[in-house]
Structure 1
Amino acid sequence: MVGLPAPKPLRFGDAALFLDVDGTLAPIAARPQDVGPDARLTRVLDRLKEGLDGRLAVVSGRTLEDIDRILEGRIVCVSAVHGLVRRDCDGTLHLPAAHPGMARATAAFRKFAAEDPGLLVEEKGPSVALHFRQARARALDARALARRIAEETGLALQEGDMVEELRTPGPSKGDSIRDIMATEAFQGAVPVFAGDDATDEHGFAEVERLGGFGVLVGRPRETHARFGLRNVEDVLAWLEAAR
């Protein structure tokens, strides 16, 4: 597949910027907890926040607490857990209702993960993720388990890069971008979203619908994004070139 063209440097004047974390602002690590603050990234975010007059948001599958830890609390406006949790620019928090199937899903993932030290369960409140990046031979079993539990509980199945996630049905990343764009600070701006995973496709589609564009980070694939960057280093360089 032919790669996407690289985006031009971002213009501060009319843009609203949405950024994923893993695989976009930070390299993907073997374990989610291995990703931490980075001095260069912190400088980039501070400059973007000032240049964009606050029209900067993070849209990630991580928990709100984890995003704040990695980004050192630099970004107030955050969509976490793939859109299920949202914190607006004024600090208003939007949380989903508890799902009765979450406890069962968590217990099933824990039991499965106990069979192999390379498996990791990440509990996120309204979702639970089973990571098998360090136990790739268990991928088929992990996927089969996640699909079965989703059918039995009514939880939504979300498949990612070496991870199976069961989430409370609810807003997607695209829904969060739409809702954030409707807030006063973002109204009238051109939305730009950079992300790497299949879970970012709802966001790419939404920014296109709103007159903006998506930036796919990583290997080319079928996507709603209009532009592409190769890796985290290219993303940081692109963000540093914003004017």
Structure 2
Amino acid sequence: MPSASEAIASRLPKPPVTPTKPAMFLDLDGVLAPLAPTPDAVGPDARRTEVLTRLTERLDGRVAIVSGRTLNEIDRISDGAARAASGVHGLQRRRGDGTFANQAPDPAIRQAVAAFDAFAADRPGVLVEDKELSAGLHYRQAPGASEDAIALATSLAQATGLALQPGSMVLELKTPGTDKGVAVTAFMAEAPFKGATPIMVGDDLTDEHGFEAAEALGGFGVLVGPERPTAARYRLEDVAGVLDWLDEIAGAAA
């Protein structure tokens, strides 16, 4: 028999297309772009760029990409369509006016990168991503390495004080002090987001902080992908469904 949270997740409806004065906070991988075997395999897409550009215009700039990727990667993949953006789980943030609020990297990130490189050296398919503010260990192409990868990342987090952020077939050790929920909250205190209804759209565990922040500020979360226990109130099936829904919101706001 399913638990209460599982029962709730299985009943999540499609989100509305006419929320009151929406402020959209959108994850990238698995939400605006399909998941790929490697981070570099994701690139710009004409429809995604068009939808984001039009949505940002219709909502008077109240659109931000909130991702685990760096701002440079966000800009590359979104083709520069996102004026406001948060990268590396809130450690980088570009405000709606183009100014930045970035944190300095924890010195222990270099230790984590070195340990991840050593781990990946004799495990084909395991990839290391150095974001300066964090270190990512990807094992989507080597699922058999998951148990050892988790043990290594957990041990490093305990030894260094870095924050461990599990994701979809990736483990990230990051400079502590922020997450996607912190980023959403910070955006909502600033123009052009202040006074709007926050809507966080995400697909994995890293987005739960964003769902919770949006809910606490009078908005809601939208889960993308398979049903699971979540703080989100609504659900969309996949990336195509997200782009269709955003397109509808842009049209309704015109």
TM-score, normalization by structure 2: 0.93
Superposed counterparts of 1:156-167, under 5 Å: 156-167=163-174
Partner of 1:148: 155
Q: Which stretch of the first structure deviates more once superposed, 178-187 or 28-37?
A: 178-187
Does the CA contact (< 8 Å) of 2:201 and 2:222 recur in 1? Answer: yes
Does the CA contact (< 8 Å) of 1:10 and 1:239 recur in 2? Answer: no
- 1:184 aligned to which of 172, 186, 191: 191
CA gap 1:6/1:166 in 2 versus in 1, 3 angstroms: same
Partner of 1:37: 44
Q: Distance in 1 between matches of 2:195 and 2:224?
A: 26
Q: Distance in 2 between matches of 1:195 and 1:10?
A: 19
- 1:125 aligned to which of 106, 121, 132: 132
Partner of 1:82: 89
Partner of 1:26: 33
Matched AA of 2:207: D
Q: Distance in 1 between matches of 2:232 and 2:85?
A: 21
Superposed counterparts of 1:58-137, under 5 Å: 58-137=65-144
Does the CA contact (< 8 Å) of 2:96 and 2:191 recur in 1? Answer: no
Structure 2 residue ranges without an equivalent (≥5): 1-5
Does the CA contact (< 8 Å) of 2:61 and 2:83 recur in 1? Answer: no
Q: How high is the sequence identity, in percent, across the aligned residues?
A: 54
Q: Distance in 1 between matches of 2:48 and 2:62?
A: 17
Structure 1 residue ranges without an equivalent (≥5): none
Does the CA contact (< 8 Å) of 1:78 and 1:86 recur in 2? Answer: yes
Partner of 2:3: none
Q: Distance in 2 between matches of 1:66 and 1:162?
A: 19
Partner of 2:13: 5
- 1:215 aligned to which of 222, 225, 228: 222
TM-score, normalization by structure 1: 0.97
